[in-house]
Amino acid sequence: MRKQKITISVIGGSRITPQVSTLAQAVGEMVAQCDCVLVCGGLGGAMAAAAKGAKSAGGLTIGLLPGKHKTDANAYIDIALPTTIGYARNAMVAASADIIVALPGSFGTNSEICYGLVYGRPVIDLGDWKIKGMIPAQDVDQAREKIKEIIKKLQQA
Amino acid sequence: MRKQKITISVIGGSRITPQVSTLAQAVGEMVAQCDCVLVCGGLGGAMAAAAKGAKSAGGLTIGLLPGKHKTDANAYIDIALPTTIGYARNAMVAASADIIVALPGSFGTNSEICYGLVYGRPVIDLGDWKIKGMIPAQDVDQAREKIKEIIKKLQQA
Amino acid sequence: MRKQKITISVIGGSRITPQVSTLAQAVGEMVAQCDCVLVCGGLGGAMAAAAKGAKSAGGLTIGLLPGKHKTDANAYIDIALPTTIGYARNAMVAASADIIVALPGSFGTNSEICYGLVYGRPVIDLGDWKIKGMIPAQDVDQAREKIKEIIKKLQQA
Amino acid sequence: MRKQKITISVIGGSRITPQVSTLAQAVGEMVAQCDCVLVCGGLGGAMAAAAKGAKSAGGLTIGLLPGKHKTDANAYIDIALPTTIGYARNAMVAASADIIVALPGSFGTNSEICYGLVYGRPVIDLGDWKIKGMIPAQDVDQAREKIKEIIKKLQQA
């Protein structure tokens, strides 16, 4: 029986549309409702919206910051961890997750998806990425279903 | 008023004497009693002993692992974060802390002390390191006093 | 007048077809003929083929290895630099380049393309990646033309 | 018979006295005379002086920069490699060396010495560091002798 907390990294653009912000917030809320720790890059855009959602549902949020200052974190991060290694921290955002949820984003998000697949993490596609190896989901409810199945397996392992 | 949780990185050797293990456990307990999150390298020796101490006092523990597998973590880690960057993660163990407590250790611990001083983190010396810039402490009680002073300042900032 | 040597990172899969191997070798040869230093990830597949091509034309080759041992490098690497940070070194393979040439590959190559675009490096597409922001090239000769134009600008800067 | 070039990382403070600058330059010259590639952190102080010395003797110099811009390199760097991972690149400056020469410096240099010892690289002490595991040398001539012995072994390996 696994004792470690299950972590879900939510990845997505730092500049996003209001629609994506709403989606990110719903995903963060869902992560907290699944009793998982939300991990993200700690900055703005999808990272802030997802962390806000998780906090609204009483969850715990971790921000893996690229720089060295905790004050770089968005307002919804409980535990700010400055990695100091710049965008190379994307490898860590991916590897730190038991499950990754990918929202729309740009090259940074794409690199995190790649690392997730390299490190064998399940990567749920809520951003129309359609990269081979990702797990497609139409909406937050479908993502929740997939996550619950994966959690069940992780807890039995 | 600061909303982020305060993190304390406890650093020390991966191969330690029973005396250092007892010290590490007491430090971990103290970290939890101070209502801080314990951060460490997630592996054995002082890392495991400190995490064990924190858990015994109801604290939360984070392990910044060098590799890519969560199963590398010791049994007292709540949130395992595989950094994938090997010993370069020592920079992160240091930068992720609001306060660092250094126990006896070897070159790895020494590198973390150096990073702590480079990044301007307060580094409490419980390992007879006597490196310029560290804050000396004779025992866990003295370390606790210094930590409480620093926490007071952090919460006012 | 720029005094630094110009570096070209050749990126591509570690498991490749004979056709891609031939392509990689031709690209490596071209890099050396352009009087540029070839940078790559130092391992097998496209990295080895490109380095072999560069050596055949008298070029200098650098391998940015993921691990800590110089002996991990393929046989055509002149200067082996163990980065010790695993696949996070992909950020560095991209940033270390003045120009990137992308061959067919998998997630690792894709992450390097993303980093190249994040860091504003010109990324020439010889692998049918068709990612927005890349510079398309039909074959090695077209790639050579694009590279010569970029080199001209770099030397004037 | 080893085909890879032998690399020597020269490490030392970014702010140094004229005496240390003279020493660093002599070490750089010696590295080039030993037909080795000089590796350093690419910035100012001991890094620039050592690279200047190597160039004066016709050597090749590599700078492993903490940031992402090649223009951060000092004027004596032939091949600038932006690592993008900040001071965590100190792990790489150490691991990239077949041999490390340590000049006087501060916490950054100390962290590089620690990494050198962790990764089993021979670390020659020209900075009065007196850390257990280092190879003491009184002056550049003694360092040269030690380096020649190590090179002999590396070439036979």
Chain A positions touching D86 (Cβ under 8 A) are 68, 84-86
pLDDT digits (tens, 9 = 90+) for D73-92: 999 999 999 999 999 999 99
Kindly report, residue by residue over C62-110, the tens digit of the pLDDT.
Answer: 999 999 999 999 999 999 999 999 999 999 999 999 999 999 999 999 9
Instruction: Please check whether residue D50 is in contact with residue D25, taking contact to mean a CB–CB distance below 8 angstroms.
Output: yes
The β-bridge partners of B38 are B8, B61
- Count of CB pairs separated by less than 8 Å, C with D: 79
Q: Identify the pLDDT of residue C137.
A: 98
Closest in A4, A82, A84 to B70, CB measured: A4
Q: Which residues of B touch D108 (CB under 8 A)?
A: 114, 118
pLDDT on residue C119: 98
Pairwise CA distance, residues A125 & A121, whole Å: 12
Q: Do B107 and D92 touch (CB under 8 A)?
A: no
pLDDT of residue C33: 98
Res. C157: pLDDT tops 90? no
Q: Verify whether the Cβ–Cβ distance C107 to A115 is below 8 Å.
A: yes
What's residue A9's pLDDT? 98
**Chain A residues touching D84 at Cβ < 8 A:** 85-88
pLDDT at site B36: 98
Q: Is the pLDDT of residue B157 over 90?
A: no
Distance from CA of B108 to the nearest CA of C (A): 14
Residue A27 phi, psi (nearest 5): -65, -45
Provide mean pLDDT across the span D11-19: 98
Model pLDDT, residue C55: 98
Per-chain mean pLDDT for chain B: 97
| SS3 readout for C49-84 | HHHHHHHHCCCCEEEEECCCCHHHCCCCCCEEEECC
* Residue pLDDT, tens place only, D129-157: 999 999 999 999 999 999 999 999 999 87
The string of pLDDT tens digits covering residues C48-62 is 999 999 999 999 999
Contacts of C55 in chain D (CB under 8 A): none
- pLDDT for the residue B2: 87
**How confident is the model over D89-103, as pLDDT tens digits?**
999 999 999 999 999
Contact criterion met (CB < 8 Å) for A68 and B119: yes
- Residue B156: which pLDDT band, with cuts at 50, 70 and 90? confident
Burial class of residue A156 in the structure, from the number of CB atoms within 10 Å of its CB (0-12 exposed, 13-18 middle, 19+ buried): exposed
The token duo for D4 is: 């890879």
Mean of pLDDT over chain C: 97
* Residue D156, pLDDT score: 86
pLDDT of residue A157: 76
Q: Which chain B residues touch C86 with a CB distance below 8 Å? A: 68, 84-86
Considering only CB atoms, which residues of chain C are within 8 Å of chain D?
A: 3-5, 7, 37, 39, 62, 64, 68, 70, 73, 75, 77-85, 88, 91-92, 95-96, 98, 119
